Amino acid sequence: MSKSKVTFIQPQLRIAQQLKEAGGMTVAEALEEAHDNLEAMRPRALTELQMAAQNAKDCFQRFPAAYAPEPLQELYSISARAVGVGVICGAPGADQALVSLCRLIDTLMERRLWDLQSVAVHVQTLQLMSMGVRNRLDAAALDQILSGLRKVSARYAA
């Protein structure tokens, strides 16, 4: 019986070669460039957040006294489009308030419920967050406000 010889071949990966080659942008450089780009977008993002908060307020002021899906859908559209703008302009709490409002609206529409107070507290909080009040709130106070919004939107989810 003949003996066979086993040979192990280590494949050459392109990524290993590319990592050894000079050129391109480092991760640190890419992060710095991204940060600079976001800083340049900050004033416009704040304006967008303020416009979304105003549009949400205007929409809410037109809400009827009884359940109607159309105004809820309109407010949902306003809120969903604005999610993400808060983090760009330095108000990540606004994004959390928008997500909480969207969850609340989803639940209200699914169950055909009407709770103007729950919607109002979200819209009012969004107004505050868009006007720079977040700068005067410490982290604990902001967490309390956002926790309260999550409780309000979770009330119907159970």
| Total-model pTM | 0.76
Lowest mean pLDDT among 62-66, 107-111, 139-143: 139-143
Instruction: Name every residue whose Cβ is closer than 8 Å to that of residue 39 and which is 6 or more positions away in sequence.
Output: none
3-state secondary structure of 149: helix
Q: Which of 39-48, 55-64, 131-140 shows the lowest per-residue confidence on average (mean pLDDT)?
A: 131-140
Q: What is the pLDDT of residue 66?
A: 95
pLDDT per residue as tens digits for the range 115-140: 999 999 999 999 988 886 445 667 88
- Structural tokens at position 98: 């928008």
Domains of the chain from N-terminus onward: 18-154 (1.20.120.160)
Q: Are 45 and 85 in contact (CB under 8 A)?
A: yes
